[in-house]
Amino acid sequence: MVAALGVPLLCALVYMVWIPHGNGGRSAWFATKIWVLVYPLFFFSLIGLGGLIRREDRVAKWPSWRVVILTGFLTGVGVALVGWLMAIGTPVGEIVKANSDNLVEKARGLGFATPGRFLMLAAFITLLHSAMEEYYWRWFVYGHLRQMVGHWPGHFIAALAFTGHHLVLMSVLFPLPLALFLSFLTGLGGLIWTLMYEWQGTVLGCWISHLVMDAFLMIVGYRLIMGAVI
């Protein structure tokens, strides 16, 4: 668990702070994704496939698949709606716009500042990366933590670790108060998703919720980056 909790944070420091440009930054970014995908494979024998391709093996009265899908969709839309209202009705939107140069610089450094490359990145993050994060942070990290330290400590530790690499990203892009606030919201999202996983016995609902939220963020990112470079 030490490696599982710490490596994503370390890699984020590499590609966002220490080597933010060029091949070094891109390599660290891709290495993080490989880690997220591959590291849990070494522990399949300890957890099994419950929660991934079927419901978990614990005895519980699971909600129907319709409820799982609907809950995932509605929570994702609800969070995206709150984000949109914050962007248009609070100072958050103006602060984000005022600091869009930082976002553009990072996108250029990682090679994603053209419409075609950004759309490829957006498709990857929305469809695949959201699934990878649910597989890693909810199924693997939380799934192990609840066995080691119990359910509620597992919820909070998993949410805190999920927040860590996002805090690095936010602190590079935005002023520290806004970075802390957005990172808090990220951790709250992580907590909601572990609670959903515990209730539903599957990562499907969490993934749908995460996918919708990431789609909203990619739309915001596209407008900010392409508005500055085109």
At 152-206, the pLDDT tens digits run 999 999 999 999 999 999 998 899 999 999 999 999 999 999 999 999 999 999 9
What residue spans define the domains of the chain?
2-229
Please state the length of the chain: 230
The overall pTM is greater than 0.75: yes
Tell me the C-alpha distance between 9 and 164, whole Å: 6
Helix and strand element counts for the chain (H, E): 12, 0
50 in helix, strand or coil?
strand
The tens digit of pLDDT for each residue in 90-138 reads: 888 888 888 888 888 888 877 888 888 999 999 999 999 999 999 999 9
